[in-house]
A and B are shown apart, each in its own frame.
Chain A
Amino acid sequence: MVQDKGNKIAKYILIGLGALFIIVMLVIPLVTVLSYSLREGWKVFYDAISDPYAIDALKLTLLATVVTLIVNTFFGIFASWGLTKFKFKGKQIITTLIDIPFSISPVIAGLVFILVFGRIGWASPFLSAHHLKIVFAVPGIILATIFVTFPFVSRELIPLMQSQGNEEEEAAALMGASWLRIYRKITLPHIKWGLLYGVILCTARAMGEFGAVSVVSGHLRGKTNTLPLHVEILFNEFHLTAAFAVSSILVVMAIIILVLRNIVEVRVKKEE
């Protein structure tokens, strides 16, 4: 009983600390963004988000996010499998190389694609001979987004699958189950939360990515502007309120994703 009481105190202290942290570090900055975006009234807010250029930018952001998500999830599933279920030399090096995009300054992440595909890049003669345009066009934006979010899904899965161990998969393999079957029946149920978090982190980050995309975009209005870039342009144009209004679209999109996640979570937990 005494211990129980202690537990309760510990519980409330921890919850209090966590909630305080989230409020100070995350909620208040968000409230700042929203209050800025509405400080000149709803009209300015509405005009900012219904601007045709803002809508073009939203479409491009959605396109880049969806493609990125597909590519990175595909990669994450295979990479985490290969890197946790087998022993081989150089495994740690590959794992670390996958993490590298995290640590590269976004400025450089964009620049590397310029140095490959740009007018000064080494692939440029080939590209111009075939009239291909990658950077300063939509493919470049997608590539840069994939690059910066590349490790997200695999990063979530690897530690989880490592701590899981291989016994169950080995048993199933001995019984002759195919890879797909093992993955669906044994591995996936263990890692589904990790996968879900990975996918959501990846989506959120892909939507909000600014630095790298800014370098490869060229900022052509209505063509290669993503939402975060549109925000930057508005900011630079002395339209601070409109800039914050447009960023609140991104916040709303993030909230939609989180609501979806919660629905999935509740459903899956019910099934269990």
Chain B
Amino acid sequence: MKKVSISAKLKKVLIVGLSAVLMVGAFAGCGSNDKKTADKEPSETKNKVLEPVEITNVSYDPTRELYENYNKIFTEYWKNETGQDVTITQSHGGSGKQARSVLEGNEADVVTLALEQDVNELVTGGLIKDGWIKEFPKDSAPYTSTIVFLVRKDNPKGIKDWDDIVKDGVEIITPDPKTSGGARWNFLAAWGFALDKFSGDEAKAQDFLKSLYGNVTVLDSGARGSTTTFVENGQGDVLLAWENEAFLSIKEHPEDFEIVTPSISILAQPSVAIVDEVADERGTQEVAKGYLDYLYSDDAQRLEADNYYRPSNEDILKEYGDTFDLDLRLVNIEDDFGGWAKATDKFFADGAIFDQIYKQ
């Protein structure tokens, strides 16, 4: 009780002390506003029916190329449909970090993140209305991916499945699920396999994960760091990676690596959502909805497949049967793990299973 009153007092003192900083801030803020209106002017003359609109899409790595191309086709589509000019500002970074920045005041009209859980944090923060996951088809996941193995050319260690990478002498590179949201899919994919192998015996599955992480030689803080460690610095025999990122590495170094698809992996569903608080305030709900809806159109689905994401439209996915291994058995977070909230508590919270497997 006493503590609360102290911090309340401290707050008061600070608010008073802040006024001078604000003046500086206001000064600089005005400056940047001027710039904004100046930037807008050229495009304003074009359209008479609808005011041009600007939206911000806060996304994760590495969707930049996907959205760069998508923004082009969407701008064209939206212009034809409604006659309105739309400019999209992109932001990219680690999924959790990006979600946090939106929570902290980075004004995004839409978020396109790697984890449903990251969007849920925005629901908790009051920025997005509950039930967002049903707002768009396929659980608001227009494209999906999965976890695969990237191994060195000709697969010198003979890695075919999860069983092979827990063997002695196999070095694994994977990011830390504590600091990288995306890395949680890697952990859960392995868990899915282990649970299947030991017919549901969780203690054995935990041992399996323990020996898997025992083989991890570098636990980078993010997925991209792991890729650099494996690809550029030649560490480890196998990299656990998102399928689309594995394809990007192959594209960059076609001679050096190959992709191995395990027998079981996980359906990774990057989530998209409208940030209601921001969109309502700016009056961009309509265009934001149009933006995310169009991700399900045939053109956009093909574009996603070209960028190595699995399109959620099954007919289009089949067109890309050469690229993606469609026989892979996929566990999914809803049915096999009871949703993200449960999975996070069970595996990744402090003292949960991930911490336990590293306990000495």
Using CB atoms and an 8 Å cutoff, list the residues of chain A in contact with chain B: 114, 116-124, 126-127, 130, 132-139, 142-143, 214-215, 218-223, 232-233, 235-238, 240
Contacts and interface: CB of A to CB of B under 8 A. Distances in A.
A221 B89 contact: yes
B62 A238 contact: yes
Given A126-B18, A235-B224, 17 more contacts: A117-B105, A122-B11, A126-B15, A126-B22, A132-B22, A136-B106, A138-B32, A139-B28, A142-B28, A218-B101, A219-B91, A219-B92, A219-B98, A219-B101, A222-B89, A237-B61, A238-B252
Contacts of A219: 91-93, 98, 101
Given A123-B15, A138-B32, A237-B65, A114 B89 contact: no
Contacts of A237: 61-62, 64-65, 92
Contacts of B62: 236-238
Contacts, number: 111
B104 interface: yes
A63 to B, nearest CB: 10
A233 B92 contact: yes
Interface residues of B, number: 41
Given A119-B105, A126-B15, A240 B29 contact: no
B283 interface: no
Contacts of B29: 132-134, 137, 139
Contact of A236 (B11, B24, B93, B232): B93
A127 B25 CA distance: 10
Nearest to B89: A220
A218 B97 CA distance: 9
12 contacts: A121-B104, A133-B32, A136-B101, A136-B107, A137-B32, A142-B28, A236-B62, A236-B222, A237-B61, A237-B62, A237-B65, A238-B245
Question: Which of B103, B106, B248: most chain A CB closer than 10 A?
Answer: B106
A49 B317 CA distance: 37
A130 B33 CA distance: 13
Interface in B13-63: 14-15, 18, 22, 24-26, 28-29, 31-32, 56, 58, 61-62
Contact of B248 (A116, A137, A218, A238): A238
B122 to A, nearest CB: 11
A134 B26 CA distance: 8
A167 to B, nearest CB: 37
Contacts of A119: 103-105, 125
Contacts of A121: 104-105
A133 B31 CA distance: 11
Interface in B125-141: 125
Q: Which of B56, B91, B249 has the most chain A CB atoms closer than 10 A to its own CB? A: B91
Q: 4 tightest A-B contacts by CB?
A: A119-B105, A218-B106, A118-B104, A236-B61
A20 B61 CA distance: 39
A220 B56 contact: yes
B254 to A, nearest CB: 14
A136 B98 CA distance: 12
B14 A122 contact: yes
